[in-house]
Chains A and B, each alone.
Chain A
Amino acid sequence: MKTFALAGNPNCGKTTLFNALTGATAHVGNWPGVTVDKREGVYKGGVENVNIVDLPGIYSLSPYTPEEVISRNFILDEKPEGIINIVDATNLERNLYLTTQLLEMDIPVIIALNMMDEVEKSGDKIDVKALEEALGVPVAEISALKKSGVKQLMDRAIAMPAERKGITVLKGALEKQLETACAFYAAEEVKSPLFHAVKLLENDELELEKKGAKETLEKASCGEDLEAVIADERYKYISANLASVKVKSVAKEKLTKSDKIDRVLTHRVWAIPVFLVVLFFVFHLTFSGNLLFLNGFTEEMGWMPSLVELGLATKENGANNFGVEILAVFYDGTVYSPGVILTNFLNLFLDHISDGIVTLMENGGAAEWATGLVGDGILGGIFAVLGFLPQILTLFLFFSIMEDTGYMARIAFVLDRIFRRFGLSGRAFMPMIMGFGCSIPATINTRTLADEKERTATVRVIPFFSCGAKLPILTAVAGGIVAAFGIGNADVITFCMYLLGICTAIVCVLLMRNTTLKGETPPFIMELPAYHLPGFKNLMLHLWDKTKHFVKKAFTIIFASTIIIWLFSHLSWRWGYLPDEQMNDSILASLGMFIQPVFTPLGFGSQLGKFGWVFAVAAITGLIAKENVIATFTTLALCIGAYAGEGTEEGVEELTGLINIITADTGISQGDFVAALIAFIAFNMTTIPCFAACATARAELPKGKFNRTVLFWLTTSYIVGAIIYTVGAFIWPVAIWAVVIAAVATFVVLRNIGKFDIVKIFRRRKK
């Protein structure tokens, strides 16, 4: 099967064309060694089926970004039968710059002139015949969005002759220099000698690695800097040709639609408030259980009756008829937001499956341990993870819309100033803020960051932006503190913990960017694409990709790990099955007791006496999903008799009982215990995220960085927990921590302004 490569600038409609060409046959993988999407698919509409490879969007073939290196190597090494170069007709000048480079390769090229309809709408005309003649390759008019002209494009592409000699637009200005360089490559018998020769004259790093290349360059250029000359010549050629092919009807209107939108969205004063409002609505529509505050802003203002109050449902969580269950998906004492509605739907569906299977097994006479393993262990684990999916996808949908409309680039533009201080670019903001929703889409979103070190640093701190599933831990423990000791305010504690997470992230980024992930702040030279409406089909294909990835992970690594933890918590050392109520005799409980002393510096270790292991176990089960932390507390509180009664979902009462029983047992002082509990929240917030997030981070991080990342999470959470406990429990260590923090901060600042270079000092000593 013939292979065609799709090449072009970012934002020129390349992905739309790819989707139009390949439809359902498309699949996404990774280019070897880097986290850049590789899309492949088959075009079946022509005389023969052809393979289409979508190269990443690029502006040039210089070797500075991974995208450019990938595209270049693919064309040179994999030798596709031809290149389909998609060119945005509304911005011919910059788009043809890449074309002039592609033409230098010995490979057939066809130009797909996209968005011709928009050009015509604005009254301009492009003389396609003249363009074809000037470039010497076929040019086909298309509209990828409307799918017009696509078949003609492919018919002509398939009919292209198999061989083509590279041509260059630089012949006039650099003839002599090119001759010398070409002669060198011709003698070496490389493919596409002209392309290599031009790249060599551009001082290309990859070309200079070749033996004898440096000498040839010196001979050809006579020490002159040709890089600027070449870029200039390309544009000069394009302008000269443009004059004849592009006929402008009237002088451009003063303000395009895009400019008008931009005047508000990047306004000097309004830009940031508008952005905050947009962000608020994204999160509100995804996570809120009170759509648009229809049910009032506070609980006291709530006026909507619940389904039980309306007499429709018999009792909460009880057996109801199916119609009421469906109604409860949308409304139950409050109107849910779209994200929550989808979650409820999926959970309703999954619950019925799980109940059905468990009932079937019980009726079939299966042993208690078997129904437990299948119902709670396997199905419970998988469904808990799949339950995240609707909200992850909703969040993704919103962010995809922001990306596709061009708003995301403006956000980076607005916020770059702040992020540069931490050695990141404005682009790093989005993944971080998404972390408040869920670490998984946030981690995947780091792909928009071009710099590898910047991406690694961002992936590592994403879990510190406390995700939706960690909120129950905060509210339960904070609620427990308030209820048991009668001090403080649960909301204030929760809010402070969020702040703590952000501060930890900032400190860690600063530290990493100055030590292990040291590097220059990546440059920020970026196109601000014109605003346009996103295509529905593109959005859906995008979401479908994410769903596939996520489900695959849910059924492999997460599946295995949930079963292991379930087994540990339901097996005694004699390999006998233990029901939920006896979890305190399980292997997991003994493991918890064993590692309990490890947490002593954090305050929730040995100090808490014979019941303290509950905290260690909760931290472990939290690895599956952070929801499990509170679930474990409620189960174990019942087991050890800290709480008698029916379990509650929030877990505040169970925790209060647990706090009371431990205080009675050990006589620990109130101040120490509060410090320990807050250290516990902080530890859970900054430690290893759930299995699903770990699996994602593993896939997104560069090779070999994942193990260190896990170590980083463990160390950070341990240190943060220890600081909180020691500062909270005693007064005297405060001074020590203050000195340590001040020393680190001074070190970082000095290094930032270049006054202090540890490598230099070290070298001087050696001498």
Chain B
Amino acid sequence: MTKPLNEFAAGESGRIKAVTGEGKIRRRLFDMGVTPGAELTMRKKAPLGDPIEITLRGYELTLRKSEAACVEVEL
């Protein structure tokens, strides 16, 4: 089962299936290690609900929900 990263609840983890989005954002995601096959864990949401924090490749990354929507993750 897959779902976009922005719909994840804190504590859920999964493996990235695909990364979509327009050039600049997609490229930035790749460069930060958000590539198909990578495993990630959703850590928490910011106090106001957005952006979110994830753990990936051994470090913490933050991104907005709108950007997280480009990341399709397999549970």
Interface residues of A (CB under 8 A from B): 59-60, 62, 64, 90-91, 93-94, 97, 203, 227-228, 231-232, 235-236, 266-269, 271-272, 409, 413-414, 416-418, 420, 523-530
- What are 12 sample pairs from A and B whose C-beta atoms fall under 8 A apart? A62-B31, A94-B33, A94-B58, A227-B27, A227-B30, A266-B47, A416-B50, A524-B67, A525-B25, A525-B61, A527-B61, A528-B62
B side interface size, CB within 8 A: 34
Among B25, B44, B59, chain A packs the most CB atoms within 10 A around the CB of B59
B27-70 toward A: CB 8 Å interface, digit per residue (1/0)? 11111110111100000111111110100011111111001000
| B46 close to A414 (CB less than 8 A) | yes
Q: What's the Cα separation between A296 and B65 when bound, in Å?
A: 46
Contacts of A60 in B (CB 8 A): 30-31
Asked if B46 contacts A266 (CB within 8 A), the reply is: yes
Q: Report whether B48 and A266 are in contact in the complex, using a CB–CB cutoff of 8 Å.
A: no
In the assembly, what is the distance between CA of A267 and CA of B60, in Å? 16
Q: State A269–B45 Cα separation when bound (angstroms).
A: 12
Q: What residues of chain A lie closer than 8 Å to B31, measured between beta carbons?
A: 59-60, 62, 97, 231
A528 near B37: Cβ-Cβ < 8 Å? no
CB A448 to nearest CB in B, in angstroms, measures 15
Q: How far is the CA of A91 from the CA of B55 in the complex (A)?
A: 12
B26 within 8 A of A: yes
In angstroms, Cα B52 to Cα A417, docked, is 11
Query: How far apart are the CA atoms of A64 and B63 in the complex, in Å?
Result: 17
Alpha-carbon separation in the docked complex, A409 to B37 (Å): 27
If A235-B35, A236-B37 touch, does A413 touch B25 (CB 8 Å cutoff)? no
Q: Which among B29, B32, B47, B61 has the highest number of chain A CB atoms within 10 Å? A: B47
Instruction: Identify whether the interface residues of B are mostly helix, strand, loop, or mixed.
Output: mixed
Pick from B23, B32, B62, B64: contact of A420, CB under 8 Å: B64
Please classify the interface of chain A as helix (H, G, I), strand (E, B), loop, or mixed, using the class held by over half of its residues: helix
CA distance A272 to B25 in the complex (A): 28
B73 contacts chain A at the CB level, 8 A cutoff: no
- In the bound complex, residues from chain A placing their C-beta under 8 Å from that of B26 are 227
A94-B33, A523-B24 in contact; A417/B51 too (CB < 8 A)?
Answer: yes
Q: Which residues of B contact A235 (CB under 8 A)?
A: 33, 35, 37-38, 57
Known: A94-B32, A525-B62. 7 other contacts (CB 8 A): A91-B57, A91-B59, A227-B26, A231-B31, A232-B37, A236-B37, A526-B63
Decide if A64 touches B46 in the complex (CB within 8 Å): no
B51 touches A413 (CB 8 A): yes
Q: Which residues of A contact B64 (CB under 8 A)?
A: 416, 420, 523-525
Given the known interface contacts A231-B31, A413-B53, A417-B46, the answer about A526 and B62 at a Cβ–Cβ threshold of 8 Å is yes
* Candidates B32, B36, B46, B51; contact of A232 at CB < 8 Å: B36
Whether B57 contacts A528 by the Cβ 8 Å rule is no
A268 proximity list for chain B (CB < 8 A):
44-45, 47
Residues of B within 8 A of A413 (CB): 46, 51, 53, 62
Name A230's closest neighbour in chain B (CB-CB).
Answer: B30
Partner of A525, one of B29, B44, B48: B29
Closest residue of chain A to B10, judged by CB? A268
Residue on A nearest B20 in the bound complex, by CB: A228
